[in-house]
Amino acid sequence: MPRRLPDKPRHVRPRRFQKREKTYSPIPFQGAPVKIGEEIEVVIDDIGSRGDGVTRIQSYLIFVPKAKVGERLKVKIVNTGRKFALAEKIE
């Protein structure tokens, strides 16, 4: 006797509407994990659309101009926002 296949669930999201990996979402009144003027050591993970190096701290993006992938740098935070920060290299 053949096995009976289970019924299909009725409400299945198409693949294009599936939820994506969680990224940094600012909770109200929660500050960024970095502060302006803070000096930190980072490793550049990726390159942004404008050619800047990108690194992450707790899924919070930090853009470093004129940086290459794989570089280990000491950077100073220049500006912060809700979703990302800008930093500059320290020589």
pLDDT at residue 42 in the model? 96
pLDDT at residue 84 in the model? 93
Please count the other Cβ atoms lying within 10 Å of the Cβ belonging to residue 30: 9
Residue 19 forms part of a structural domain: no
pLDDT at residue 1 in the model? 63
For each successive 10 residues of the chain (91 residues), what is the average pLDDT? 67 61 62 92 94 92 95 96 93 77
Question: Residue 62 is part of which domain span?
Answer: 30-89
Residue 22 forms part of a structural domain: no
Could you tell me the pTM of the whole model? 0.67
Residues 40-51 as b or e (16 or more Cβ within 10 Å = b): bebebeeeeeee
pLDDT at residue 4 in the model? 73
Whichever domain contains 44, its CATH number is 2.40.50.140
